[in-house]
Amino acid sequence: MATEDERLYESEYVLYVACAWRLDVGDQVACSSGDAYPHYDRMAEGWERLVGASLIGADIRSPGIDLSLTFNQGRTLHVFCDRPAGDDNYDWSTADATYGVTSHGNLSREPREVG
């Protein structure tokens, strides 16, 4: 049985993004990583559009391992790998492992230790 911390704070999947990204809703840009400052309100409103959304598709593009996540109701999160050499662009964690994408399309895999 899961502990209370695991039940409240451990996710089945985790996406951590450190590079540029953009959230599209239909044919409109809802928000992007460039909205962080001074446009916090625009970013918060954009992310609110993902509350309750279901992931229905994922696309990874070579050579940089850019990522697009498609959600229902026309929402798409685009992740653009633009970090300098040695920096992480994004990490994707599953129940078993964490996959890290660094510069120049390099991919790493580490076992995930939960709880």
**Mean pLDDT taken over the chain:** 86
pLDDT score of 7 more than 70: no
Residues 51, 62: Cα–Cα separation, whole Å: 29
The per-residue pLDDT for 27 is: 94
Domain spans, the chain:
4-111
Residue 105 near residue 65 (C-beta atoms within 8 A): yes
Q: How far is CA 41 from CA 7, 35, 86, 110, in A?
A: 30, 9, 32, 35
| Most confidently predicted of 42-46, 48-52, 75-79, 108-112 | 75-79
Confidence of residue 3 (pLDDT cuts 50, 70, 90): low
Confidence of residue 2 (pLDDT cuts 50, 70, 90): very low
What value does the mean pLDDT take over residues 41-48?
85
pLDDT score of 96 more than 50: yes
Residue 24: name the closest of 54, 42, 55, 46 by CA. 46
Q: The tokens of 21 are what?
A: 């990204």
The per-residue pLDDT for 9 is: 65
β 28-32/97-102 pair status: unpaired
